[in-house]
């Protein structure tokens, strides 16, 4: 019995719903990610009965490999350390993101919906942070999650919005990418997530390199304006940026000079030390994905770390966390999780005579997460890993869609041509 293919109308409206709503509600609603996962699972599974899946997944093999490797390593760690199967919750759920590839590659719709979703997410996050900080008098805006996650993802949305400048340059709404960018910066400032600010510099690099020469000055002006906004935050008492920054330097000096680890900065540095010690003792497989707090307890009993970090579950650094809990094998998987999508987006950056804005946004996303991981374990939280994986696959799906449209115009590759994944 032949399975009926997904109707074009269902594919189109399902795609529009997902690519707009995902960036728009991911951090601005309390259950946004759960809704996206449910809808994508239903519509995406239906799209798997379509033809041409081999070529679609082969062309995105680096993205597929990165996400699949995360699941394989998680399964190996679960079996080796006899962990509960709930340890596979996040890796299995992010596999749903791969359904974006076949769903979007063959859909027929205006990809502007993605940018409007990104704009809505960045602007909505800024509005929510203003409300929480000034109306609710919260010292740090947090949305519906942790302050660092909220601020970092809000900044990532603002930076990715800049990738759409070329699409809106001749429209009346040309200002939207810039406004969304400043909203992302504002969200980061009001959340107090200073660790993500290096992403401003990292993201300016691909914007400058891949912009046309006549647009590079504008890219640098936008980046400089964002940095000026960050500097201005130091002189606005309501943001508490200057107070918190000064406290970091004082606490770091006390840690290195007097071994004071019972402050926020001291505790973070002590956790980095604990992660390094755990990796040194268990370099191959680590101590186990969910055993970081147990390893801290053992180190504390031996007098190697301060009791002040007892109860912490994460190392507050993505690389050190993975090295401590999954060893060299986990570190290899993490590098793949970053660099394989980056390779895919770099290879897809050119779309005909112009640069592919979705590939540019993907490059900026990966660079943002590389920075975010220096001060937070983004992938230890459902929102952190899901936003990355889903956005990577969404942008990869749109890159494939661009390729499909190019083939339809040039008739370079017949629909039934056999494709090698090598």
pLDDT per residue as tens digits for the range 241-292: 777 778 888 988 888 888 888 888 898 999 999 999 999 999 999 998 888 8
pLDDT grade, residue 6 (50/70/90)? low
Mean pLDDT, range 137-157, rounded to an integer: 94
pLDDT grade, residue 2 (50/70/90)? very low
Task: Give whole-number Cα distances, 362 to 178, 292, 299, in Å.
Answer: 18, 31, 40
Mean pLDDT, range 3-25, rounded to an integer: 77
pLDDT higher than threshold 80 for residue 107:
no
- DSSP run (H or E) holding 351: strand 350-351
pLDDT of residue 5: 54
Higher pLDDT, 233 or 413: 233
Mean pLDDT, range 370-396, rounded to an integer: 94
Mean pLDDT, range 206-224, rounded to an integer: 72
Yes or no: say if 75 and 54 are a contact pair by the CB < 8 Å rule: no
pLDDT grade, residue 216 (50/70/90)? low
Give the chain's mean pLDDT. Answer: 86
pLDDT higher than threshold 50 for residue 392:
yes
| Model confidence pLDDT, tens digit, residues 40-61 | 988 888 777 765 677 888 899 9
pLDDT higher than threshold 60 for residue 237:
yes
pLDDT of residue 50: 64
Residue percentage of the chain with pLDDT more than 70: 90
pLDDT of residue 148: 93
pLDDT of residue 214: 54
pLDDT of residue 264: 86
DSSP state of 97: G
pLDDT grade, residue 353 (50/70/90)? low
Mean pLDDT, range 382-392, rounded to an integer: 95
Mean pLDDT, range 23-44, rounded to an integer: 90
- DSSP run (H or E) holding 354: strand 354-355
pLDDT grade, residue 187 (50/70/90)? very high
Higher pLDDT, 7 or 76: 76
With a CB cutoff of 8 Å and minimum separation 6, the contacts of 301 are none
pLDDT of residue 47: 74
pLDDT grade, residue 81 (50/70/90)? confident
Choice among 67-71, 126-130, 220-224, 345-349 with the minimum mean pLDDT: 220-224
With a CB cutoff of 8 Å and minimum separation 6, the contacts of 266 are 251, 252, 254, 255, 260, 308
| Model confidence pLDDT, tens digit, residues 394-421 | 999 999 988 877 766 665 555 444 555 6
pLDDT of residue 416: 47
pLDDT of residue 420: 55
Q: Is 350 helix (H, G, I), strand (E, B) or coil?
A: strand
- Sign of the dihedral defined by the CA atoms of residues 396, 399, 403, 404, in that order: positive
Nearest to 112 by CA among 357, 348, 350: 357
pLDDT of residue 352: 56
pLDDT higher than threshold 60 for residue 356:
yes
pLDDT grade, residue 154 (50/70/90)? very high
Mean pLDDT, range 109-137, rounded to an integer: 93
CB atoms within 10 A of CB 223: 20
Yes or no: say if 318 and 376 are a contact pair by the CB < 8 Å rule: yes
* Alpha-carbon gap, residue 197 to 190, rounded angstroms: 13
Residue percentage of the chain with pLDDT more than 90: 47
- DSSP run (H or E) holding 104: helix 100-105
pLDDT grade, residue 14 (50/70/90)? confident
| 16, 18, 24, 28 alpha-carbon torsion, rounded to 10° | 150
pLDDT of residue 369: 97
Choice among 79-93, 211-225, 403-417 with the minimum mean pLDDT: 403-417
């Amino acid at each position: 019995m032949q399975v009926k293919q997904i109707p074009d109308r269902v594919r189109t409206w399902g795609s529009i719903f997902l690519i707009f709503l995902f960036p728009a509600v991911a951090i601005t609603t309390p259950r946004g990610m759960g809704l996206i996962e449910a809808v994508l699972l239903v519509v995406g599974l239906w799209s798997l009965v379509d033809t041409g899946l081999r070529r679609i997944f082969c062309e995105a093999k680096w993205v597929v490999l990165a996400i699949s490797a995360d699941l394989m390593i998680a399964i190996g760690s679960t079996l080796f350390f006899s962990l509960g199967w709930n340890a596979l919750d996040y890796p299995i759920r992010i596999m749903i993101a791969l359904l974006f590839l076949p769903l979007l590659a063959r859909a027929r719709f205006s990809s502007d919906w993605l940018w409007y979703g990104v704009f809505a997410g960045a602007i909505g996050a800024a509005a929510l942070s203003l409300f929480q900080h000034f109306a609710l008098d919260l010292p740090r805006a947090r949305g519906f999650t942790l302050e660092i996650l909220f601020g970092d993802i809000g900044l990532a949305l603002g930076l990715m919005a800049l990738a759409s400048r070329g699409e809106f340059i001749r429209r009346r709404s040309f200002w939207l990418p810039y406004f969304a960018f400043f909203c992302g910066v504002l969200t980061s400032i009001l959340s107090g997530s200073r660790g993500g600010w290096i992403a401003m510099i990292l993201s300016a690099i691909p914007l400058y390199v891949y912009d046309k020469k006549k647009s590079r000055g504008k890219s640098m002006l936008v980046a400089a304006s964002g940095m000026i906004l960050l500097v201005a935050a130091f002189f606005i008492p309501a943001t508490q940026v200057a107070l918190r920054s000064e406290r970091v330097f004082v606490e770091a000096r006390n840690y290195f000079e007097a071994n004071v680890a019972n402050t926020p900065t001291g505790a973070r540095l002590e956790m980095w030390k604990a992660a390094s010690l755990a990796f040194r003792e268990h370099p191959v497989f680590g101590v186990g994905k969910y055993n970081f707090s147990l390893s801290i307890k053992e180190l504390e009993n031996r007098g190697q770390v301060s009791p002040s970090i007892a109860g912490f579950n994460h190392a507050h650094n993505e690389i050190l966390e993975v090295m401590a809990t999954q060893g060299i094998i986990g570190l290899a998987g993490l590098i793949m999780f970053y660099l394989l999508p980056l390779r895919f987006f770099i290879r897809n950056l050119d779309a005909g005579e112009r640069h592919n804005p979705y590939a540019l946004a993907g490059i900026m996303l990966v660079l943002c997460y590389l920075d975010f991981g220096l001060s937070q374990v983004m992938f230890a939280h459902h929102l952190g890993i899901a936003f990355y994986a889903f956005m990577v696959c969404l942008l990869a799906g749109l890159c494939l869609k661009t390729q499909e449209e190019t083939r339809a115009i040039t008739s370079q590759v017949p629909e039934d041509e056999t494709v090698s994944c090598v």
